[in-house]
Amino acid sequence: MRRLFSFPNPVNEVAARLVAAGVVLMSVAALVFQAEWLVVVIALGFIARVATGPTLSVLGQLVTRVIVPRLPVEPKPVPGPPKRFAQGIGVAFSVASALLLLVFDADLAGWIVLAALAAAATLESAFAFCLGCKMFALLTKAGLIPASVCEACNDITARTEANLRRKAAAV
């Protein structure tokens, strides 16, 4: 059994992209309807996902237990640490947006920060381009994140070979 406060490694990229799509939908709804309360929901979801992966996230549970199992697609495992880092950036942006809107009465700034979050989530959901993952890679390359944090990130050949073996076994 997995510990409550742990993050999955590897992560199913299919699920990650669908969670990002949910963030896009909620963010756009919050922007269109100026629903400040929804920004709080978005922030709480990010906090839950950073702390526990999908375990305590309503959106994470919906995606991993209901939506993904019904899709006719194979799981695509990707390293967990960069995805957790990206979720952490989501925490920063969503909490900043909520604080700007609800505490500092800086509505324009709050909505701009949320729009930036929606743009990043759109890149992830629509194009599998994870800005947080790219930042993680740059920080690792710069030595600010130890390479040991994500051994799988450093060995692309292992992932490629594993994918080839999985595809060959399916045929």
Does the pLDDT value for residue 39 go beyond 60?
A: yes
- Residue 6 maps to a domain: no
The reply to whether 109 falls in a domain is yes
pTM for the full predicted model: 0.87
CA distances from 59 to 20, 35, 42, 66, 126 (A): 10, 18, 10, 10, 17
Task: Give residue 97's domain range.
Answer: 11-170
Q: Does a structural domain hold residue 22?
A: yes
> Is residue 170 over pLDDT 80?
no
3, part of any domain: no
What total number of domains does the chain contain? 1
Those residues with Cβ within 8 angstroms of residue 69's Cβ, 6 or more apart along the chain or in another chain: none
For the cut 80, the answer to whether the pLDDT of residue 35 exceeds it is yes
Residue 4, domain member (yes or no): no
Q: How high is the pLDDT of residue 124?
A: 98
Q: Tell me whether residue 158 is in a domain.
A: yes
The 10s digit of each residue's pLDDT in 111-142 is 999 999 999 999 999 999 999 999 999 999 99
In a domain, 113, yes or no: yes
Query: What is the per-residue pLDDT across 141-164, written as a single tens digit (0 to 9) for each?
Result: 999 999 888 887 766 555 555 555
